[in-house]
Each structure stands twice: as C-alpha cells, then as structure tokens.
Amino acid sequence: MIAGSASAIAAAVRSGDRSAVEVLEEHLARVGRHEADIHAFNLVLEDQARAQAAAVDQAVAAGRDPGPLAGVPVALKDNLCTRGIPTTCSSRILEGWKPPYSATVVERLAGAGAVFVGKTNLDEFAMGSSTENSAFGPTANPHDLSRVPGGSSGGSAAAVAAGFAPLALGSDTGGSIRQPAALCGVVGAKPTYGLVSRYGLIAFASSLDQIGPFALDVADAALLLDVMAGPDPCDSTCLADPPPGARARLAGGVEGLRVGVVRELANAEGLAPEVQGRLDDAAASLSAAGAKVDEVSVPAAVYGLSAYYLIAPAEASSNLARYDGVRYGLRAGRAAGTGADPTDILAMYTDTRSAGFGAEVKRRIMLGTYALSAGYYDAYYGKAQQVRTLMVRDFDAAYRDFDVLLAPTAPGTAFELGAKTADPLTMYLNDVCTIPSNLVGHPAISVPFGTGADGLPLGVQVLAPALGETVMFQVAAVLEAAAPPTPASPMRGEAR
C-alpha cells in the first residue's frame, strides 16, 4: 500500500489507528488550499462528509466494521444522482435539480463506509475530452495549471491527482475515465459493460456508458470496482451473475500470459513518438516479467472513431430529448420571466434547450438527430452498427490468441487549455485509442507509465475480453511495478 492510498486509510480507520474525521479534515484542508486553482468540484459536500465520517468513527467505537472503504474520501462525478443533493451534469439545463434517489453505486459506496467529499466537474453531459465544455468553467490539470486534465471525467481525475480524495468515480462512454487518468497520472478503469449498475447515472449513450474507478494505484482501483460491481434489479442491462474479482490475482504476475500489442492502436493517427516509445517500454517490461508478447491486428479498430461519432450522438439525441423545461431543471420563456409567450409550448422548448445546452451538446444532438433521420438512418447509424459488429468479431479473434491486449491510452500528454476547443475533430482524436473498448463492451484500464518530454504523465492501456477484469488487473499490477517514476502533483506532494 502506498502512503495516502484508500487501502491504507481504510485499514487504519478500521483498526482505530486513525479517525475518519481526521482523515476527512486533512483532505478538506487540501481542497480549501487548492480548489480555487483547479476547480475539480462543482460542489464540495463538507457538512454531509463530516456527518458520514462521524458515523464511521461511531461504528468503529461500537465494535462494528464500517466496511472496506471505511473513512475513505471519495469524489463523485456530477452525473451520478445523489438524493437531495444538486446533480448538474455540468449543464445549465439541470439548474436547481435535486434527485429524489441516489445511484446504485453511490448507495454501495456509502454502505462500504466511504465519505463523499463532493461532486466533480465534467464536460457537459460527459460530452468532451478536456473538461472545458462545462457550463461552470474548465478544470485545470494539477500537474500544470495551464493544461487540461482530460475529459469528460476531468474533475474526478484531477481530484485524485491533487490529493483531494484517494478515490473517485467517473463514467466512460468513449474513454472518459481512461484518457483523463492518463493525463493526470492516476489509474482509471472502464469495466465490462453491465458489470456495474448504471441506475442513477444520467445517460449520455446508453449502450456505451459505464461507471468506473479512479485511484492512486491499481490495488485501490480494484478495491473500488469490487465494492460497486454486481447485479442490480434496477438496471436491466446489469449482468445477473456474480462479478469476477478484480483483486483475485493482483499478485499473480504475468508468467506465461499472452499479451498482444494492438497494431492499429499503436500506430493510430496523431500519436506522439514518446507515446509509442512508452508503449514499447511497457511491452518490454511485461516480456521481462515472463509474458509472451507479440503484435496483433484488430483491423476494424481503425473505424472506431467514425462509428462512435455516429452511434454516441444518435443515442444522446434520444436521451437528451427529455430535457424540455417541463419536468425538471431550467425553463426559459416568458413563463420564466423571459422570452416567448407562455402559451407557446414549442417556443418554450426551443428557448429552454437553446439556453440550457452548451455548444458541444447541441452539436452532438444535431449530428445524432441527422444520423437517425429518415433517409439517412441506414447510410449512417445502420452502417456504424455494422462496423461495431465487425469490431466485436475482430477483438474476439484477437482474444483467441492473447489473454490481454496492450495499447496507448491517449495520443500525448495533457495539452494547453483552449488549444483544441476551436477544432472539434482534433479534440475527438484524443479518444482514438479508448473508443474501441466501449464499442465492443470490453474492460480496459489505464496505468501511469512515466512522462513525456514535458515532464507530464503518460499512460498505457491494458484491454481484456468481456468479464476479464481479473487478468486485466493482474497485468496492470505488473505494469505499475515496472513503470518509470511518475511524479505526484505539487498539491499531493508525495512521490509515487
């Protein structure tokens, strides 16, 4: 266990060596010093967190086990419903909305003794790769405040990297956990589709979204995943069978395992030479540890970006139709004191959605609506789904010969704030290596693996077949042990 890790904190709190209140106050103090510079949070839950921490300490004093996350501060992405607490998706259209229920994962973490520090900033409705699309302003990378933290779960990644919480939850639709994890120098994992309940996750693209962990190390990410995974009758897409244990073989090594380096992702468009160099180093470290490493081709992976940016916007245009000013959130128009005649419902819809959604969300709604429209459905959305099927077949073929696959996570290190906001296509390329796992529903994890020439973190990805979390974390642990040093952010102030 590393200092300040979730595992170390939980062990100390459960044994009575530390109090949950003391742990929380240390983290809140760091938030107080640095949050204004980073803007990781949309809302810091000081009062609720103190009440949760006190309850954990009372349980320990009474001889009860608070759970495997006893007293561990956790940050929650602000697209996860929290009962009675504002949940915004970083969008004006959910202004003032407080959910009447909590997401299943939030309930499971609370039951395991976690303490919720706050709701983290994100690209609006999780649509973005830099956390610059938030209606509440961008988040900065704790390693360099002039750089982005990645997205869309940039607030969660930044919160862990800055030491505001040792664990955080994000959602991953096309790389929104793994890409910011790489840019912020932390561990981030996307589970198998259906392994973790999506009940209470505000939907972006329902066939792609998955909730997953951010952590300081692989063991903590596995711990958090094991706490939140498992069947849920509230989510019909959640798998009914017991989940594989992410921690089952963390110390198992890679002797004899077959690792395939994905040719199409290792040579993807826009990859910096240093990214390819780190990927080569990661492959060499696994080979030195006893794995059988070779190159593998997944031909349809090259079409992942194109297919994704038809499928995801199409699902988003359907999911976001519910935000109309009638049921909850923002209402624009004369009935709300501005604009259209209150008797003109179409004008109210138009005014509300125009005022409530940001530019990137509008762009994707329009793209998705076009792809689903009569005369274009077969040519665009239908073809994209056919490509998705080809990708499933190609990945299945690769896993007949290899236990896991290896790929870069992001094309480079964190880029400067504002550098790509004017060019959506350049921004979309940040997800070129992460999108395939979402389209096929397989798990993947990003592990910090040294730095680029600018001294900022880089990550490499381990991909596994469906329900292959056990072997995925097993390989990730070996990579972590072999990784070049990744310096901690100045806020966290301790070396990895």
- Catalytic residue numbers? 77, 152, 176
Identify any residues that bridge with 118 across adjacent strands, giving them in sequence order: 44, 75
Residue 348 structure tokens: 């109210």
Pick from 296, 281, 265, 286: nearest CA to 178: 265
Question: Residue 205, exposed/middle/buried by CB under 10 A (0-12, 13-18, 19+)?
Answer: buried
Strands (E), 87-144: 115-120
- R_g (Cα) of the chain, nearest Å: 22
Report yes or no: 106 and 211 within 8 Å, Cβ to Cβ.
Answer: no
What is the Cα–Cα distance from 427 to 421, expressed in whole angstroms?
Answer: 7
Identify any residues that bridge with 85 across adjacent strands, giving them in sequence order: 82
HSE on the CB side for 359, CA within 13 Å?
6
> In this structure, which amino acid lies at residue 467?
L
Angle at CA 453, nearest 5°, toward 451 and 454?
85
CA-CA-CA-CA torsion for 336, 364, 207, 266, nearest 10 degrees?
-140
A 10 A CB-CB count for 22 gives 13
> In this structure, which amino acid lies at residue 406?
L
CA-CA-CA-CA torsion for 167, 170, 172, 173, nearest 10 degrees?
180
